[in-house]
Structure 1
Amino acid sequence: METVIGPHLDLPAMLALLAKYPTPKALRDAGMHRVEALLRKQAPRAWKRWAAAIFTALDGQTVVVSGTAAAGLVLPQLAASLAQTRSSRDEVLVRTEELVGAHPLFGLLTSLPAVGVRTAARILTEVVGKDFESAGHLALYAGLTPVTWRSGTSIRGDHSSRRGNKVLKRALFLSAFAALKDPLSRAYYDKKRAEHKKHNQALIALARRRCNVLYATLRDRAYFHAPEAATAARIDLSRGA
């Protein structure tokens, strides 16, 4: 049963199932029809597949694990508690989105490719209100400035700095990954890959370049507008790398 239900414990449907039918015996006593009815309400796309997998696992179960009855008393409470935690988290996310969306800089930030509510929230909390002299200083603060490692007479290539604001670095890194759907960002990433950069190194380089755009957007209070196709073709993507 663990192999069927376990991977989906973070989903409301499985929490509802465990809250009502916490043991194999409870599931068998309920029967396929009731289990399907419960799952159908919570998971309209996957209920049939999950119900079939659950009862296939039940049919193949030949050993009753010691302590199952006791677990049946505890699991409903744990499932209900986790469901409540998820609900509270969702409420916080909704409220956060409302607050971020109402911020005067929200429109500016989300005009950048692949900057959504969550990335904008990170930028607002980690960047806005701090004075950076240049895009380079912002990149240094975010830990996106490459570092050359030296040991005696040995010199290794550039690596991403382990310093800086890790929360902001992660947000900008994930945003850079999402930005690969943007033609200009993809072209810059492909250019770095052609220079024999590994995937993560190329993404870090892209995130660093996007710091230039972010800095200019916040400094000038100007919405980002992607260059026209004809102009974009002439842009030197290596500038500011």
Structure 2
Amino acid sequence: MGIHQIFLGVDVGKTEHHATAVNHDGNIVHDRPLPQSEPKIQELLKDLSAKHGELLVVVDQPKTIGALVVAVAQHMNVQVAYLPGLTMRRVADLHPGQAKTDARDAYIIAETARTMPHTLRGITMAEEHIAELSMLCGFDDDLAAQLTQVRNRLRGLLTQIHPSLEQVLGPRLAYPAVVDLLGRYPTPAALKRAGKGHVKTRLKKRAPRMATRLTEEIFRALTEQTTVVTGTQAAEHIIGRLAAQLQQLAQQRTDIEAEILLVVDAHPLTQVLTSMPGVGVRTAARILTEVVGKDFKSAAHLASYAGIAPVTRRSGTSIRGETSSRRGNKVLKRVLFLSAFASIKADPASRAYYDKKRAQGKRHNQAILALARRRSDVLFAMLRDGTFYESRSTQLAPAA
């Protein structure tokens, strides 16, 4: 981090932060609230730099509500660092007192930066593409969560009024044809009145290959229940509205994916990332937002940051073994896990490694996690050198 004369810890808030500055000897030279205002932030940074020398600003949240502080400091060429929340809480336990106040947190951030600089993470000047991707991916995550919520609500209603029909349509709510069908015929009675012909014709518009089979399954399920459950009439209006919500949310996700694709395509590392089996548009976008701009010293450092490196547990002779880490960047961990799972079908080398781990007695999730750890080493090398993915089976292939 270099030699700094003043360390400014900022406990960020929505409308007001708390800023505490300590000098190189550990004396507090500033301790007061800091408004979420560019002029006020600039004024404080200029004043501290002029009076005390080189300044290091440390925040506990570099994004969302802390983004303005970071941006102003970077614009003024003041070095900025980030103290992870979990590290901060552990360091806080070493300080006397049990109070949880903004002033105490800001002091702990500043003092940790002074005494334990190795706990800090650097923050580089954010790329415009990465900032855009971060916002788009965040909105995409929100839409995905809403889709899941609406689908679960819809499945709950179908289970309440006709369990057999839910068993046919519920697992297929990700298909646009099924959602469209429920929007047009939202109850068992409506489906019966429409008849097989109309239902099959409706399904064929969006899912021609599954229309015949699904129609037969639907009407087979309808024959298994003749009792009309109380509340079915009210459910008709709710199911129709939920189906319309699903269509709107799905369309929004499609639109957002197109925007993400435009931004991802413009980034120089995109072709490198997508050359790896199991890495598509959304996966590449998430890797870019979570990895680019961070300084990883080694592949092991990246794996540890992602939470996919095994944790060794030993205590004498009673406790020995390795377990999966519960820490790390959960977004990146999920992306690497799902990417490894997708690669099993796309890459023979990944499949061979997965089968090897299964043969060693590992469960499915353990084998996938081990594969994700192996692939993170390759990913680190690809990002470091800007090289494309090359399958190990290709590397070992005999020359023609």
Give the superposition deviation at 1:75. 2.2
The answer for the alignment partner of 1:200 in structure 2 is 365
Alpha-carbon spacing, 1:31–1:200, altered in 2? closer, same or farther (3 Å): closer
Give the superposition deviation at 1:73. 2.5
Question: Percent same amino acid at aligned positions?
Answer: 59
Alignment partners' CA distance in 2, 1:228 and 1:58? 51
Q: 1:78 aligns with which of 232, 242, 260?
A: 242
Which residue identity lines up with residue 154 of structure 1 in the other structure? Answer: S
Alpha-carbon spacing, 1:26–1:188, altered in 2? closer, same or farther (3 Å): closer
Write out per-residue CA displacement over residues 64-123 of structure 1, whole angstroms, 9 at most, x where no aligned residue. Answer: 111222222332222112211111112112221222122111011122343332321121
**TM-score, normalising length: structure 2:** 0.52
Alignment partners' CA distance in 1, 2:300 and 2:190? 61
Query: SS where residue 212 of structure 1 aligns?
Result: helix
Alpha-carbon spacing, 1:36–1:179, altered in 2? closer, same or farther (3 Å): closer
The answer for the alignment partner of 2:276 in structure 1 is 112
> Residue 149 of structure 1 contacts residue 157 of structure 1 at CA under 8 Å; is this kept in 2?
yes
Give aligned pairs, total.
Answer: 233
Alpha-carbon spacing, 1:195–1:70, altered in 2? closer, same or farther (3 Å): closer
Give the superposition deviation at 1:136. 1.4
> Residue 348 of structure 2 contacts residue 393 of structure 2 at CA under 8 Å; is this kept in 1?
no
> Residue 132 of structure 1 contacts residue 138 of structure 1 at CA under 8 Å; is this kept in 2?
yes
> Residue 184 of structure 1 contacts residue 232 of structure 1 at CA under 8 Å; is this kept in 2?
no
Q: 2:374 aligns with which of 193, 209, 219?
A: 209
Query: SS where residue 206 of structure 1 aligns?
Result: helix
Alignment partners' CA distance in 2, 1:114 and 1:170? 13
| Structure 1: unaligned runs, 5 residues or longer | 234-241
The answer for the alignment partner of 2:191 in structure 1 is 27
Alpha-carbon spacing, 1:195–1:42, altered in 2? closer, same or farther (3 Å): closer
> Residue 313 of structure 2 contacts residue 319 of structure 2 at CA under 8 Å; is this kept in 1?
yes
Alpha-carbon spacing, 1:114–1:4, altered in 2? closer, same or farther (3 Å): closer
The answer for the alignment partner of 2:233 in structure 1 is 69
Alignment partners' CA distance in 2, 1:139 and 1:72? 49
Which residue identity lines up with residue 242 of structure 2 in the other structure? Answer: L
- CA radius of gyration, larger in: 2
Q: How does 1:1-241 map to 2 (within 5 A)?
A: 1-150=165-314, 153-180=317-344, 181-193=346-358, 195-226=360-391, 232=396
The CA RMSD over aligned residues, in Å, is 2.6
> Residue 23 of structure 1 contacts residue 72 of structure 1 at CA under 8 Å; is this kept in 2?
yes
Alpha-carbon spacing, 1:116–1:23, altered in 2? closer, same or farther (3 Å): closer
Query: SS where residue 61 of structure 1 aligns?
Result: coil
Query: SS where residue 283 of structure 2 aligns?
Result: helix
| Structure 2: unaligned runs, 5 residues or longer | 1-164
Query: Per residue, is there more strand in 1 or in 2?
Result: 2
Alignment partners' CA distance in 1, 2:263 and 2:206? 29
Which residue identity lines up with residue 30 of structure 1 in the other structure? Answer: A
Which residue identity lines up with residue 219 of structure 1 in the other structure? Answer: R
Give the superposition deviation at 1:33. 1.9
Alpha-carbon spacing, 1:224–1:33, altered in 2? closer, same or farther (3 Å): closer
Higher RCO (CA-CA < 8 Å; seq separation 6+): 1
Query: SS where residue 161 of structure 1 aligns?
Result: coil
Alignment partners' CA distance in 2, 1:125 and 1:171? 11
